[in-house]
Chains A and B, each alone.
Chain A
Amino acid sequence: MSKGSVTSPRKAKESPKTGISPASKTPGKSSSKSTGDTGTGAGVTRELARKGYRTMLEARLLEEKLAALYRSGKIVGGVFLGRGQEALSVALGLHLRRGDIYAPLIRDQAGRLAFGDTILDTLRTYLGSILGSMRGRDGNIHRGRPSEGYHAMISHLGAMVSTVCGGLVARRFRGESGVVGATCIGEGGTSTGSFHEGLNMAAVEKLPLVVVVANNQFSYSTPNDRQFACPDLTARAAGYGIVGRRAVGNDLIDCLRVIGEAVAAARSGEGPQLVVADLLRLVGHGEHDDASYIPESLKKSELGRDCLLLARESLIEKGWMTEEEAVAWRDAVALEVEETASKVLREPAPDPVDEDWNAFASLGREGEQ
């Protein structure tokens, strides 16, 4: 498995003459020095790595609870887990700041928690509590608070790329700089027209956009050789004239380092950044899916190693966390998850009688003003 590397577009283009003030630097001049880096995690602090591990643990235990609630019939519809993708997901969430724009996708529970979402609102949305941010009108992974820069994904893959672009354009109109917008997608989503249109648009406008591709080898059940023919998705970045980077998807420290560099580059005006990470989803597409299509050999390969266990080993080895701390954290998180679930299970469900059944923001149900 290759360690992190950077591919830059061959030739940096001049800034377009649009009204939106162009970025101060061109994408080709990435300051990243990570080419050939062996993933030592240079620049990743102890504090960040500990926060990363702790948040991955929260995501993992919360998702285990979600799966249990689904199996016991308390959650309807579906449960879609990010098991095996927490390291990559959390790295993006941790490098974003309040005031940035974030559109997570299906397997980003860890990133969501790192960005500021809570165990409480996750459970409320999955269980359909009227007190949750989606009030039972939408569920599971379709949650967010768009007015706070936390976009609520739609199921149509690739759609959130241009939406985040729009948020960044608005910030530019307001004269705000140093803002980053980020979204995540799987390798299957890169086959959509929306993904292409969004990345091309971001490149034209030189937006501070970071797109993280979790290449988990299967789009639901479809293997990569039926999804795309290019040998390395990172190479697509050059086609858009943006910077492409590669991270080791189940290595927390490498994900933190590479995504940290991508976010910093976007924040300093170097234009859109594409980060691709290989990994393996350690569960089915949803909890209804046994993932029998994933070969045993792949599960036993490097790709199939659990990022949470690897992170634990790595942090203990570096002396950044003790065994005792890891156990104590696990107990504390498990308790929080259990207590929160018990509380949310007692919260009111939406009442069809109280529901206003109105899709308009400024009009009555019949369209009256």
Chain B
Amino acid sequence: MSSITYLEAIRLAQRKALADDPRVFLYGQDIGTFGGAFKATKSLAKEFPGRVLDSPISEDAMVGLAIGAAVEGMRPIVEMQFADFSTCGFNQIVNQAATLHYRTGTACPIVVRLPSGGTPGSGPFHSQSMEAIYAHYPGLVVMTPATVDDAYSMLLEAVALDDPVIFCEHKFLYYHLKAEQLPDQALPFGKARIARPGRDVTVVTHGAMLHESLAAAEELSSDGYDIEVVDLRTVRPLDTDTILASVARTGRLLAVGEAWPWGGVTAEVVARVASEGFGLLDAPPQRLNAKETPVPYHPALWGTHRPTAGTIASSLRHLLEL
């Protein structure tokens, strides 16, 4: 097998889910014969007749249909064309899917795939990172795979879970990231991963920001600093234990997120470390996020709007001097 992209891993995970489990079906806009806006379902409609269905442009009803089917024992995977459009299905996700088991005792095993995050030129409505919004609601699992291996194994994990899963796959990684082969094993569900071990600062991040953070860590290594990078993998549940253990080693925390800071994943990470690991800190916990405007269109603006290896490296240098 030649190299597999992050996007192809998502396609192959759906293919495996369809092949292994007759309860699985895919539902979304343009995902049938056309194979999806990003081709994440390419050729699957042909390979699995009747199980990869084009939906009307009706995000609310798409999620509602998935919920109703899940109640009857199916395992639907809904593709939002872009994460941004999931706001049109927000009611069904947070009020019906997230509450169903608590209210009625009936599980709601749906997966909603959200092609997330920014790419150059995508602008305000095709670039959003929605993970913090969904993670706010009890009852939802929120996954943010940052590697090809995780894109594949975590999507299969999502299908197997009895709870609704918001699967935030990052569009910036679709074609950039490649692996030689599919993974044959995965980390346990809900565990964060030490993507790079270090002893001077802990960077906690997820999604596309993992790769910016790793590049920043590499940059600082030439100055003699040893930066540890933690990839959250799932933001809900949040693996506080791994974060605290890392901060115990380094004494310093920088939380990096592509989304806006207000009430976001980085805010949650800093809050947990401050309240549960205050004594471990040698400096005030820091965070770096997108600028607080809608995601801009022009690449020059977009490239400054979100954190990059350069701005993360600057934040790290600042933190090391505190």
What residues of chain A have their CB less than 8 Å away from a CB belonging to chain B? 18-21, 101, 133-135, 137-138, 142, 144-147, 151-152, 154-156, 159-171, 173-174, 193-194, 197-198, 200-201, 204, 358-363, 366-369
Q: Say yes or no for B3: interface residue by CB 8 A criterion.
A: no
Q: Determine whether the beta carbon of A197 is less than 8 Å from that of B50.
A: no
Q: Determine whether the beta carbon of A166 is less than 8 Å from that of B65.
A: yes
Q: Determine whether the beta carbon of A167 is less than 8 Å from that of B72.
A: yes
Task: Tell whether A165 pairs with B163 under 8 Å between CB atoms, given A20-B50, A361-B101.
Answer: no
Q: Say yes or no for B68: interface residue by CB 8 A criterion.
A: yes
Instruction: State how many angstroms separate the Cβ of B15 from the closest Cβ of chain A.
Output: 16
Task: Tell whether A166 pairs with B237 under 8 Å between CB atoms, given A18-B53, A134-B104, A361-B101.
Answer: no
Instruction: State how many angstroms separate the Cβ of B61 from the closest Cβ of chain A.
Output: 4
Q: Determine whether the beta carbon of A156 is less than 8 Å from that of B91.
A: yes
CA of A273 to CA of B95 in the docked complex: distance in angstroms?
27
Other A-B contacts than A163-B65, A171-B72, A359-B99, 14 sampled, CB-CB below 8 A, are: A19-B49, A152-B104, A156-B95, A161-B64, A162-B63, A165-B61, A167-B71, A170-B68, A174-B72, A193-B60, A201-B61, A358-B102, A362-B162, A363-B190
Q: Determine whether the beta carbon of B138 is less than 8 Å from that of A359.
A: yes
For A366, the chain B residues whose CB sits under 8 A away are 237
For B280, the chain A residues whose CB sits under 8 A away are none
CB-contacts of B30-52 with A (<8 A): 32, 45, 49-52
Size category of the B interface is 35 or more
CA of A170 to CA of B74 in the docked complex: distance in angstroms?
6
CB-contacts of B70-124 with A (<8 A): 70-74, 76, 91-92, 95-96, 98-109
CA of A170 to CA of B45 in the docked complex: distance in angstroms?
18
Query: In this complex, what residue of B is CB-closest to A147?
Result: B106
Q: Determine whether the beta carbon of B237 is less than 8 Å from that of A368.
A: yes
For B101, the chain A residues whose CB sits under 8 A away are 359-361
Instruction: State how many angstroms separate the Cβ of A182 from the closest Cβ of chain B.
Output: 13
For A361, the chain B residues whose CB sits under 8 A away are 101, 107-109, 162-163
Q: Determine whether the beta carbon of B65 is less than 8 Å from that of A162.
A: yes
Q: Determine whether the beta carbon of B64 is less than 8 Å from that of A167.
A: no
For B91, the chain A residues whose CB sits under 8 A away are 156, 159, 194
Query: In this complex, what residue of A is CB-closest to B51?
Result: A19
For A198, the chain B residues whose CB sits under 8 A away are 61, 64
Q: Determine whether the beta carbon of B64 is less than 8 Å from that of A166.
A: yes
Q: Determine whether the beta carbon of B67 is less than 8 Å from that of A163.
A: yes
Q: Determine whether the beta carbon of B103 is less than 8 Å from that of A137.
A: yes
A-B contacts, 15 listed (Cβ < 8 Å)? A19-B32, A19-B49, A19-B50, A133-B104, A134-B103, A146-B100, A159-B96, A162-B68, A163-B64, A163-B68, A163-B96, A165-B65, A166-B66, A170-B74, A201-B55
CA of A198 to CA of B67 in the docked complex: distance in angstroms?
13
Q: Determine whether the beta carbon of B68 is less than 8 Å from that of A367.
A: no
CA of A347 to CA of B102 in the docked complex: distance in angstroms?
21
CA of A331 to CA of B226 in the docked complex: distance in angstroms?
83
> Which 8 pairs show the lowest CB-CB distances between chains A and B?
A367-B237, A166-B68, A19-B50, A162-B64, A170-B72, A197-B61, A359-B139, A162-B61
Q: Determine whether the beta carbon of B72 is less than 8 Å from that of A166.
A: yes
CA of A359 to CA of B238 in the docked complex: distance in angstroms?
15
For A21, the chain B residues whose CB sits under 8 A away are 50
